[in-house]
Amino acid sequence: MNPQMNAQLMAELASVTQHLQRSTVQLQGHRFGSGSGVIWSADGLILTNAHVVRGREAIVHLWDGQTFKARVVRKDRQLDLAALVVNAKHLSAAAPGDANDLRVGQLVLAVGNPQGLHNAARLGMIHTIAPATQRRWIQADLRLAPGDSGGALATIDGQVVGINSMIVDGRAFAISSQVIDRFLASQADHPYLGITLQPVVISLESKPMPGWLIASVTANSPAETSGLMLGDVLIGIQAQCFNDHRDLDDWLTLAGPGDQWQLKLVRAGQRFDRSIVLGNQETGMEAA
């Protein structure tokens, strides 16, 4: 790369970083440490991790020194996401991106407030890409620190594709845009099957396999309509068998009412498939 192209790239990267810094906030609770958040809309919606905000309120510090009191309006501890609102307009909002478009080796930026520093930025790359049904997390080779939680993970053109959440084995784990979109939809909009499940391990073709035993089927539910029965064992979805019991949680996280699933099941030792259309019920699917 010639010096002129290199200088242009550095200038563009600095400009993108500056915009990400302006859309990243520092969050401070009354009795707990600080974390980060991302301005998701110009009229005051801010996203962060659920573990960053412990109470119903937080203090928000903007890049330009402005301070606001924020109110927590939605929190999902399972997804580790929370939404806050501040009484402000014309904020510098992030540009949401699509994590499905990420590729291994692609450069990404993380912006947050580590260890009391304000709006620190790090450059790294995508480490791995999970299968489409398991893209709850984005893994990147980035060194984060306490205070970075809730900050933005973005492409080098400024598209925010995740919310940084934790460090595992030296890699940053960010909650993907698909999960963020699901969170921002109605909280009452949970996928519903109408079954109670218990985790089991069955022997199939002389190999142990994780599965979910159907312990009960609700009358007039999508499960009953599809012919599921007490004692059936769910072993996979959409032609993919579970590798771990947590795989089902990944499917449910990215699902919505109206989605059609092809379930892989075992009944009396025999495999079979059933098609099911997910329903909508506020309580969602029970798991025992």
More confident residue, 186 or 100: 100
Same domain, 79 and 99: no
Residue 189 scores a pLDDT above 70: no
β-partners of residue 233 are: 213, 266
Residue 30: pLDDT band (50, 70, 90) is low
pLDDT at 188: 52
pLDDT at 239: 86
- Say if 50 falls within a structural domain: yes
- Say if 164 falls within a structural domain: yes
pLDDT at 2: 67
pLDDT at 286: 36
Select which of 51, 76, 118, 226 is catalytic.
Answer: 51
Distance CA 228, CA 233 (A): 10
β-partners of residue 168 are: 171
Helices (H) and strands (E) in the chain, counts: 4, 22
Q: How does 138-167 read in b/e, with b if 16+ C-beta sit within 10 Å? A: bbbbbebeebbbbbbbbbeebbbbbbbbbb
More confident residue, 26 or 135: 26
Residue 6 scores a pLDDT above 80: no
pLDDT at 107: 94
- Residue 10's CATH number: 2.40.10.10
Domain carrying residue 168:
95-184
pLDDT at 4: 66
Does the annotation count 51 as an active-site position? yes
Residue 266: pLDDT band (50, 70, 90) is very high
Of the candidates 60, 52, 76, 2, the residue with the CA atom closest to the CA atom of residue 26: 60
- Say if 137 falls within a structural domain: yes
β-partners of residue 111 are: 121, 152
Residue 32 scores a pLDDT above 60: no
- Say if 211 falls within a structural domain: yes
Residue 142 scores a pLDDT above 50: yes
- Say if 90 falls within a structural domain: no
**Model confidence over 73-83: pLDDT tens digits?**
888 877 889 99
Q: What percent of the chain has pLDDT over 70?
A: 91
- Say if 171 falls within a structural domain: yes
**Region class of 186: left (phi > 0), else alpha (psi between -120 and 50), else beta:** beta
Select from 134, 155, 184 the last residue of a domain.
184
Identity of the residue numbered 95: A
Does the annotation count 149 as an active-site position? yes
pLDDT at 58: 92
Mean of pLDDT values over 62-82 = 89
- Say if 237 falls within a structural domain: yes
pLDDT at 192: 82
Select from 32, 66, 85 the last residue of a domain.
85
Of the candidates 200, 160, 217, 183, the residue with the CA atom closest to the CA atom of residue 36: 160
Residue 146 scores a pLDDT above 90: no
pLDDT at 21: 95
Mean of pLDDT values over 197-218 = 91
pLDDT at 47: 97
Select which of 80, 148, 232, 250 is catalytic.
Answer: 80
Select which of 36, 149, 165, 221 is catalytic.
Answer: 149
Question: From the CA atom positions of the chain, what is the Rg in Å?
Answer: 21
Mean of pLDDT values over 150-169 = 93
Same domain, 212 and 171: no
Query: What's the structural domain count of the chain?
Result: 3
Torsion of CA 108, 109, 110, 112, to 10 degrees: -170
Q: In sequence order, what are the residues at sequence separation of 6 or more whose Cβ sits closer than 8 angstroms to the Cβ of residue 148?
A: 35, 36, 110, 112, 113, 114, 120, 164
Select from 141, 163, 184 the last residue of a domain.
184
